[in-house]
Amino acid sequence: MAEITAAMVKQLREKTDAPMMECKKALTEADGDLARAEELLRVKLGNKASKAAARVTAEGLVGVFIADDAKTGAIIEVNCETDFVAKNDEFIAFVADLARKIAEEAPADVEALSASAMGEGTVEATRSALVGKIGENVTIRRFSRIQTDKQLSSYVHSGRIGVLVEHSGDDATGKDVAMHVAATRPRALDAAGVPAADIEQERSIATQKAAESGKPAEIVAKMVEGTVQKFLKEVTLLSQPFVKDDKQTVEQMLKSRNAGVQQFVLFVVGEGIEKKTTDFAAEVAAQQAAARG
């Protein structure tokens, strides 16, 4: 039996918002497997156990650039340590310059972007100089570039959520879709784009919950399939109720405007990054102990 430490319980609690004792019980039952413990909590507590997973912890900006002809565009996330720096004019300009550079030069990846020319040196040299000037680490995390014979539209919310959409329609429709994506954060365009692992996890959770009902196997199978289909409708863009008119889906809205969506890219600042937290009281106590020593 694996040892269940306070750190493990704390990590699971931060990820799920579940009560401390429930986290400990789940970890014990899962023999210390964090992913399995999270799944057990979702079976027991439902979606409440995953609501903390979307919390943004890191700082930075998402930048978007679209060429004048709306055929080429780029979206990028650049991280820093504090929201104060994220509002710094030089940091903002750096992010904007990178987005334009990606759209115009099509670097293969972050490494290639960092090695490309900027100013009197390279992007990496510019980044290093910015770090030295503002006194905080700055990292280029990710970017995506789209070139199309259709149209590109975008939406950026407070610099922290950015969306780039490839579509066939007017710019107003494209912006409506981009704003919808920013608001609802779908995982994919349609069911075909949802990772198989995500579907299997939902199926596993639904199977475990349905099994507790004591209903016949054929009823349980229908319950599971119904739950999976409901999940897919909730996380795919075209099946979601349109935020501006929830009486129709995004797909129906697009058809009514003789438009379509080919793909979208959604970046949320700090998504998936765990930000280091400091226990101020413990830090002070440690400093006092060191001073006495």
DSSP result, 37-59: HHHHHHHHHGGGGGGGGG---SE
Local confidence band at 164 (pLDDT 50, 70, 90 cut-offs): very high
Who has greater pLDDT, 280 or 177?
Answer: 177
Residue 65 reports pLDDT greater than 50 = yes
Q: Please give the average per-residue pLDDT across 122-136, as a whole number.
A: 90
Whole-Å CA distances, 71 to 104, 147, 152, 190: 11, 6, 6, 23
Token representation of residue 152:
């590109």
pLDDT tens digits for 166-211?
999 999 999 999 999 999 999 999 999 999 999 999 999 999 988 8
Residue 74 reports pLDDT greater than 70 = yes
d(CA 87, CA 99): 17
Coil/strand/helix, residue 67: coil
> pTM for the complete prediction?
0.74
Local confidence band at 215 (pLDDT 50, 70, 90 cut-offs): confident
- The CB-side HSE value for 130 (13 A sphere, CA atoms) comes to 26
- The CB-side HSE value for 169 (13 A sphere, CA atoms) comes to 23
pLDDT of residue 51: 47
d(CA 273, CA 142): 13
10 Å CB burial of residue 121 (0-12, 13-18, 19+) is: exposed
pLDDT of residue 187: 95
Could you give the percent of the chain with pLDDT greater than 70?
88
119: left (phi over 0), alpha (psi -120 to 50) or beta: left
d(CA 267, CA 65): 14
pLDDT of residue 169: 93
pLDDT of residue 158: 93
Residue 275 reports pLDDT greater than 90 = no
Mean of the per-residue pLDDT values of the chain:
88
Contact 136, 87 (CB under 8 A): no
pLDDT tens digits for 11-56?
887 777 677 788 888 899 999 998 888 888 777 765 544 443 443 3
